[in-house]
């Protein structure tokens, strides 16, 4: 069997990826599909950290959030990411994947706190580490948490799982002539004003020389192809 190109990666999952065709919440079929994709790479011996968003749960209370203080709303969103992390961990357990959830917020009755050294040890033991609660601070997105945790654990790449199979010259849904970039530099992506990640996360990845691959989590086998170094998604590099 061909060896994977990357040994340690950080996967960024949006909360919306768990919704499937539902309006909000967690779609069991979609959750199972994502876990199967993850298992396909952990079976190769790849060390995997996961940062997950909370938009699928938080949007369910979006109506009540109108006019809410930004910091309060962000803390609510962090709690939503912990809920998603717990659901993902349980689904992994049922699939035979050994996973641990670490939270940037201190809620030890539910999940253990984030400790960098322990997270790295878990990865070395072959466990998947799911990082919940973002960075633990308001005003920072889970994109920034992915860039931060990826840098801290020594990941070789941040994989951003989206609904689109890469970065395009234009919105492929609106422009049928839009073409996908196979590779693009950080500087060119900035110059073209391409929305890869939020600005803080993007700048951190660039400064740490941590490449990003944007790919579709809905495309069967895409995660494994990225890990194997095949032409899948779009690679953003220094």
Binding-site sequence positions for ATP:
12-15, 55, 59, 162, 168, 171
Please report, for residues 126, 177, 179, 184, the alpha-carbon distance to residue 52 in angstroms, rounded to integers and kept in the order given: 19, 32, 28, 25
* CA-wise closest residue to 118 among 93, 98, 137, 101: 101
- What is d(CA 26, CA 173) in angstroms, rounded to the nearest whole number? 25
Under DSSP, is residue 75 helix (H, G, I), strand (E, B) or coil? helix
Whether residue 37 contacts residue 88, with contact meaning beta carbons closer than 8 Å, is answered with no
Binding residues for UMP: 54, 74, 135-142
The DSSP bridge pattern shows strands 99-103 and 47-52 to be: unpaired
Whether residue 213 contacts residue 162, with contact meaning beta carbons closer than 8 Å, is answered with no
Binding residues: 12-15, 54-55, 59, 74, 135-142, 162, 168, 171
* CA-wise closest residue to 109 among 82, 135, 137, 88: 82
The 10 Å Cβ neighbour count of residue 41 is 23
Order of strands, edge to edge, in the sheet holding 128-132? 112-113, 99-103, 128-132, 47-52, 8-13, 157-162, 212-216, 234-237, 183-185
């Amino acid at each position: 069997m061909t060896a994977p190109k990357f040994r340690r990666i950080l996967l960024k999952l949006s909360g919306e990826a768990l919704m499937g065709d539902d309006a909000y919440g967690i779609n069991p079929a979609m959750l199972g599909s994502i876990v199967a994709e993850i298992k396909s790479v952990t079976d190769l011996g790849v060390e995997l950290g996961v940062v997950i968003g909370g938009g699928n749960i938080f949007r369910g209370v979006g109506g009540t959030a109108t006019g809410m203080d930004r910091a309060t709303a962000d803390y609510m969103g962090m709690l939503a990411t912990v809920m998603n992390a717990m659901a993902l961990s349980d689904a992994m357990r049922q699939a035979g994947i050994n996973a641990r959830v670490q939270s940037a917020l201190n809620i030890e009755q539910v999940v253990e706190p984030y400790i960098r050294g322990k997270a790295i040890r878990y990865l070395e033991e072959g466990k998947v580490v799911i990082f919940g609660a973002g960075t633990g601070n308001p005003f920072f997105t889970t994109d920034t948490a992915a860039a931060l945790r990826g840098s801290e654990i020594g990941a070789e790449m941040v994989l951003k799982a989206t609904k689109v199979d890469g970065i395009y010259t234009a919105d492929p849904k609106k422009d049928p002539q839009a073409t996908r970039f196979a590779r693009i530099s950080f500087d060119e992506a900035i110059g073209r004003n391409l929305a890869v990640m939020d600005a803080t996360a993007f700048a951190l990845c660039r400064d740490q020389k941590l490449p990003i691959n944007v790919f579709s989590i809905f495309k069967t086998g895409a995660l494994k192809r990225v890990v194997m170094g095949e032409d899948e998604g779009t690679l953003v590099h220094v």
